[in-house]
Structure 1
Amino acid sequence: MKLTFVIHGRGFRVPAGYEARYEKLLEQALKGDGTIKITVEPNYQQRTMKENAYFHVLCKRLAEMAGGTPEDMKEMAKAKAVSLGYPVATDEKGFPVAVKYGVKGIPSSEANVGECALLIEAVHMMAAENGYSLED
């Protein structure tokens, strides 16, 4: 029996919905020699340069419209994206890092395809919430 799931960050715990399968796997291991093999590997769906560039362009446009810096917009977008499921940046002890805009998200350079989509969605949400349109 094999069990595969994806986790974010350093804290390991069996995700919701996988508990029963995990327990069954452990029971099988106890019937054998009592050991299980756990493999940890990156789950990269590498972002493309196009997605990364688009996120940065949107932040620059919003900064020009609303005032502020593109860096501030990026940090605000990452904090908003965390509420959408974007990975949280953690300190050396594994605790979330707080910034003035909320909880800090991981650097966009570490984001995969789906995570970049969350960043882009967050910038569009920020713009709409403040009466701006970022349409091309």
Structure 2
Amino acid sequence: MNLTFVIHGGGFRVPAGYEARYEAILLQALKGDGTIKVTVEPNYQQRTMRENAYFHVLCKRLSEMAGGTPEDIKEMAKAKAVSLGYPVETDEHGNPVEGEFGVKGIPSSEANVGECALLIEAVHMMAAENGYSLED
């Protein structure tokens, strides 16, 4: 039996509505060795299809305006987004992976909503730096 809920902030207490299930787990633990396992992990909000699609559309638009492939624009945007705080892709030893356009960012399919916003911002910055406007 397990129990999952989201807590906002640093203080831990069982949220309203989960008390009975929590008590049931504690009772079950007493029948065993009396211990329970508690796991704490961040609650990342995954990207939505809307953000992902918008990032890819912007990359396609910029590639049509400036030349190059949408894939190149995506990789350039990820490298630029790294300087804005986008997560870095690492190798098996934890070292940053270098790509053709600088340090590589993680695949957009692994980005959460905030990270997708950094990718979108990076594409807009690249366009503006090169005299292009990506109007919606």
TM-score normalised by structure 1 residue count: 0.70
Counterpart residue identity of residue 131, structure 1: G
Residue 99 (structure 2) pairs with residue 114 (structure 1) = no
Residue 98 (structure 2) pairs with residue 98 (structure 1) = yes
**Whole-Å Cα distance in 2 between the matches of residues 68 and 38 of structure 1?**
50
> 1:135 — aligned with what?
135
% identical equivalent positions: 87
Post-superposition CA distance 1:42-68 (Å, at most 9, x none): 532111100000000000000000000
Q: For residue 96 of structure 1, give the secondary structure of its aligned residue in structure 2.
A: coil
Computing the radius of gyration from Cα coordinates, the structure with the larger value is 2
Residue 123 (structure 2) pairs with residue 123 (structure 1) = yes
**Whole-Å Cα distance in 1 between the matches of residues 52 and 43 of structure 2?**
18
> 2:6 — aligned with what?
none
Query: Closer, same or farther in 2 for the Cα pair 1:43/1:134, shift >3 Å?
Result: same
Gaps of 5+ in 2: 1-8, 11-36
Counterpart residue identity of residue 93, structure 1: H
**Whole-Å Cα distance in 2 between the matches of residues 59 and 86 of structure 1?**
17
Counterpart residue identity of residue 127, structure 1: A
Gaps of 5+ in 1: 5-36
Matched positions, count: 102
Q: For residue 84 of structure 1, give the secondary structure of its aligned residue in structure 2.
A: coil
**Whole-Å Cα distance in 2 between the matches of residues 67 and 77 of structure 1?**
15
**Whole-Å Cα distance in 2 between the matches of residues 108 and 90 of structure 1?**
14
Counterpart residue identity of residue 99, structure 2: V
**Whole-Å Cα distance in 2 between the matches of residues 45 and 93 of structure 1?**
27
TM-score normalised by structure 2 residue count: 0.70
Q: For residue 123 of structure 1, give the secondary structure of its aligned residue in structure 2.
A: helix
Post-superposition CA distance 1:7-62 (Å, at most 9, x none): xxxxxxxxxxxxxxxxxxxxxxxxxxxxxx99553532111100000000000000
Structure 1 runs of 4+ aligned residues shifted over 2 Å read: 37-43
